Amino acid sequence: MASSFYPPQRTLMGPGPSDVSARVLGALSRPTIGHLDPLFVTLMDEIKVLLQYAFQTTNELTLPVSAPGSAGMEACFVNLLSPGDKVIVCQNGVFGGRMKENVERCGATAIMVEDTWGEPVSVDKVIAAFDEHPDTCVLAFVHAETSTGVRSDAAALCKLATERNALSIVDAVTSLGGIELLVDEWGADAVYSGTQKCLSCVPGVSPVTFSPRAVERINNRGHKVQSWFLDMQLVMGYWGGSSKRAYHHTAPVNALYALHESLVMLQEEGLEAAHRRHRHNHLALVAGLEAMGLSMVVAPEYRLPQLNLVNIPEGVDDAALRSTLLEEFDLEIGAGLGALAGKAWRIGLMGFASSERNVITCLNALEAVLLRQHAAINPGKALNAAQAVLKG
């Protein structure tokens, strides 16, 4: 006979989900009300305003898709693409590849611009792709590549798309709340994210925002969106600004309580302060790792403060080390993906998990397990190096 499930208290320092605060968990447990209840409709309106702050946009079509970030990605592609369209897709990690899949499943053609994993998207290569394919209607790229810990120049790429009369689709799953993301200032047209990364909310909801240019494309489609559930014209009947909402689906009521609370916390802290906190803790972690004798995959100017890619030392058993961290220290760090599988660890400092306490916890646990595996590291140096940054 099955019994209730009680998970252990883990410290989540992988690529997501991240640690969730007690405030957000408390919000999740509040009484469920109907998804068309007038009080819930009021909450929906507040969530839209809070998301506009997080995205730094005035876009009216800003809402949380009732599904994970992958559904937010699909919502952007299926609403903006039609069969026969040309799309420049930038790939410098796993998630550019998922964009390509979405393009092809929409019947469009993906023009691939590929860069080395661990490096940002090359703006020059994208310019060359536009020159070769001037009829391109969409540029798609990942702002913060979760598989590599790399930040690409979203401002330059969005500007380029606008200049070439193309829309931009931006993956901001790992960037929202962790680093600067200026949707209106950059002219980004369709941006999707996830709740489980730097927003420190529970997984399962995907914030999205569409510019007026994108909305115009959606409204002028010559055929129905291939996904009924993700059709923004239908969804907006439920998330629209009028007091009378059309039933579309049963929203994840309690998950949206949690999202609202996480966005309230972000507003209380302030975006700039949140970005400084992520940066400060990142620098302390890197100082400790390098003092220990480890090296980073990504060049300093392109690193994501919320997701740190660390080269695995020679002779270290990757899987065994991560398993020991989880079993003995209740600490989760992430494995490498794709070209970086078995070569790098992904250490997250996202949202609520980006704390001085977690920096110290991670360095101490990692050093202890590396010493057990007789790795060639410098013991006893990481903590002092990290604390020098934290106190600075």
Same domain, 151 and 280: no
Give the model's pLDDT for residue 243: 59
Structure tokens at 308: 């740190």
Order of strands across the sheet with 344-348? Answer: 307-311, 344-348, 334-335
Q: Which of 380, 342, 344 is nearest to 363 (CA)?
A: 380
Domain count, the chain: 2
- Among 268, 285, 315, the domain boundary falls at 268
DSSP letter, residue 172: -
Q: Is position 163 within any domain? A: yes
Task: Say if 2 falls within a structural domain.
Answer: no
| Segment 291-311, tens digit of pLDDT | 999 999 999 999 999 999 999
204: left (phi over 0), alpha (psi -120 to 50) or beta: left
pLDDT digits (tens, 9 = 90+) for 34-76: 999 999 999 999 999 999 999 999 999 999 999 999 999 999 9
- Contact between 188 and 168 (Cβ < 8 Å): yes
Question: Global pTM?
Answer: 0.97
Residue 372 and residue 264 share a domain? no
Contacts of 172 (CB under 8 A, 6+ apart): 55, 143, 144, 181, 191, 192, 193
Distance CA 333, CA 347 (A): 5
Candidates 282, 308, 317, 295; CA nearest to 148 is 308
| Secondary element (H or E) of residue 307 | strand 307-311
Residue 201 maps to a domain? yes
Q: What CATH number corresponds to the domain at position 338? A: 3.90.1150.10
Look at residue 241 in the predicted model and tell me its pLDDT: 61
Contact 235, 76 (CB under 8 A): no
Q: Which residue has the higher pLDDT, 242 or 385?
A: 385
Q: Assess whether 193 and 290 both reside in one domain.
A: no
Assess if residue 11 is contained within a domain.
no
Residue with tokens 């020059």: 124
Residues 32 and 171 in one domain: yes
Say if 43 falls within a structural domain. yes
Q: Which two tokens stand for residue 311?
A: 């080269």
User: Can you spell out the DSSP letters for 337-364?
Assistant: -GGGTTTEEEEE--GGG-SHHHHHHHHH
CATH assignment of the domain containing 218: 3.40.640.10
Which of 211, 184, 180, 210 minimizes the C-alpha distance to 306? Answer: 180
pLDDT at 117: 96
Per the rule left: phi > 0, alpha: psi between -120 and 50, beta: everything else, 177 is left
Alpha-carbon gap, residue 76 to 228, rounded angstroms: 13
| Separation CA 338–CA 360 (nearest Å) | 29
Please say which residue of 250, 268, 286 terminates a domain: 268
Residue 143 lies in a domain: yes
Give tens-digit pLDDT for 153-183. Answer: 999 999 999 999 999 999 999 999 999 999 9
Q: To which H or E segment does residue 141 belong?
A: strand 138-142
Note whether residue 379 is domain-resident. Answer: yes
Q: Which of 216, 247, 268 is the last residue of a domain?
A: 268
Alpha-helical (H) ranges within the chain are 22-28, 38-55, 69-80, 94-105, 123-132, 154-163, 183-186, 212-219, 232-239, 253-269, 271-292, 318-329, 356-372, 382-390
Identify whether residues 108 and 235 lie together within a single domain: yes
The tens digit of pLDDT for each residue in 270-289 reads: 999 999 999 999 999 999 99
**Do 159 and 211 belong to one domain?**
yes
- 350-355 mean pLDDT: 97
Instruction: Say how far residue 324 (Cα) sits from the centre of its chain.
Output: 27
Distance CA 363, CA 354 (A): 14
pLDDT digits over 218-265, tens only? 999 999 999 999 999 999 889 886 657 888 999 999 999 999 999 999
Q: Are residues 174 and 242 in the same domain?
A: yes
Tell me the pairing of strands 167-171 and 138-142. parallel
Amino acid at 165: N
pLDDT at 148 over 70: yes
Alpha-carbon gap, residue 32 to 254, rounded angstroms:
6
Tell whether 48 and 154 lie within a shared domain. yes
Best CA proximity match to 311, nearest among 375, 360, 371, 364: 375
Q: What is the mean pLDDT of the chain?
A: 96
What is the C-alpha separation between 99 and 122, in angstroms, rounded? Answer: 17
Could you tell me the residue range of the domain that residue 30 belongs to?
A: 21-268
pLDDT of residue 95: 95
**pLDDT tens per residue across span 359-370:** 999 999 999 999
Q: How far is the C-alpha of 376 from the C-alpha of 370, rounded, in Å?
A: 8
| pLDDT single digits (tens) 373-383 | 999 999 999 99
Of the listed ranges 106-110, 121-125, 204-208, 233-237, the one predicted with least confidence:
233-237
Contact 281, 355 (CB under 8 A): yes
Assigned domain for 194 exists = yes
Question: Do 255 and 281 sit in the same domain of this protein?
Answer: no
- Would you place residue 140 in the very low, low, confident or very high pLDDT band (cuts 50, 70, 90)? very high
- Tokens 């019994």 belong to 3
Q: Provide the percentage of residues in the chain whose pLDDT is more than 70.
A: 99
Same domain flag for 154 and 237: yes
The whole-number average pLDDT for the span 90-112 is 97
Residues 316 and 249 in one domain: no
Task: Write the CB contacts of 188 (distance below 8 Å, at least 6 apart in sequence).
Answer: 154, 158, 168, 170, 211
Please report the pLDDT score of residue 244 as a whole number.
72
Say yes or no: 259 and 275 in one domain.
Answer: no
